Amino acid sequence: MPVVVFLVWLALLMPSLNFLVLILCLRSSLMCPEGCNCSAEIGVVRCTNRELREIPRDIPEDTSVLYLDSNHITSIPEGAFRELYKLRELYLSNNLIDSISPGAFRELGEDLKLLDLSNNQIRQVGREAFGKLRAKTRLYNNPWHCECSLQELIETLNLDPETLNNIMCDSSLEEEYAGQPFVHLLNSGINFCSIHQKTTDVAMLVTMFCWFTMVISYVVYYVRQNQEDTRRHLEYLKSLPSKPKNPAEVDAASTGL
């Protein structure tokens, strides 16, 4: 008897369930960014080659795979991927990205397995932009400026090993490093952070020398100015006419003699 009751209840409830599923699907499609294709069933959002200039703001929270590749995106602001805790793959390759804000990827969950930033215009980015991200990251084919910050980034991130040799130095503090794979330079024993420290020390030494020279110059100028003022004052005193003596004082002086 309870089984029959349950079946009757389920039959009555089915239209409501179907309606609820329809509402959820409709809501998911309404939340899909304009110009993108969203698959509610598997959580894939495709915005490839849509001429986007910025990260869409209405990405569904249940997105697991997000394609933003082959667009005109130039920057990634902080909080661009807020609340996308289920995201597992993020594709940002083939854009014009040259600016990544600190903490841009910090809010992504630990489920993120792949982050593709290849083929962009990134020259510099601090490791603080990635937070504690452990996703396999692709950074190749960017015009990197090879210095200490890039070395720290490579030591921090879980880079895709198949693309490591394609992280090239477009420019560097040392001209001979330009055009070479950054990882090869590191493997050859070059420490960009020590170079950076030496450069900083030299800059500080030059600054201190300039400051010391300025102080000495001011002291010399001050002494010379005082000497010149003193000389002028003495010349002025010498130029003053002598005070004539009183006749009474002259007679008293004569009498005394």
Q: Residue 20: is it exposed, middle or buried by C-beta count within 10 angstroms (0-12/13-18/19+)? A: exposed
CB-based contact 203:164 (threshold 8 Å):
no
* Model confidence pLDDT, tens digit, residues 212-227: 567 777 777 777 777 7
CA distance between the termini of the chain: 155
CB atoms < 10 A from the CB of 195, how many? 18
Phi (first) and psi of residue 241, to 5 degrees = -70, 145
For residue 246, what pLDDT is reported? Answer: 58
The residues of the chain scoring below 70 in pLDDT are 1-30, 195-213, 233, 235-257
For residue 227, what pLDDT is reported? Answer: 75
For residue 10, what pLDDT is reported? Answer: 43
Domain residue limits, the chain: 28-190, 193-238
Distance CA 235, CA 249 (A): 29
* Model confidence pLDDT, tens digit, residues 36-93: 999 877 899 999 999 999 999 899 999 999 999 999 999 999 999 988 999 999 999 9
For residue 224, what pLDDT is reported? Answer: 74
Label the pairing between strands 144-146 and 169-172. Answer: parallel
- Return the structure tokens found at 232: 């002028």
For residue 112, what pLDDT is reported? Answer: 95
Query: Does CATH place domain 28-190 in 3.40.50.300?
Result: no
Q: Give the CA count within 13 Å in the CB-facing half-sphere of 153.
A: 24
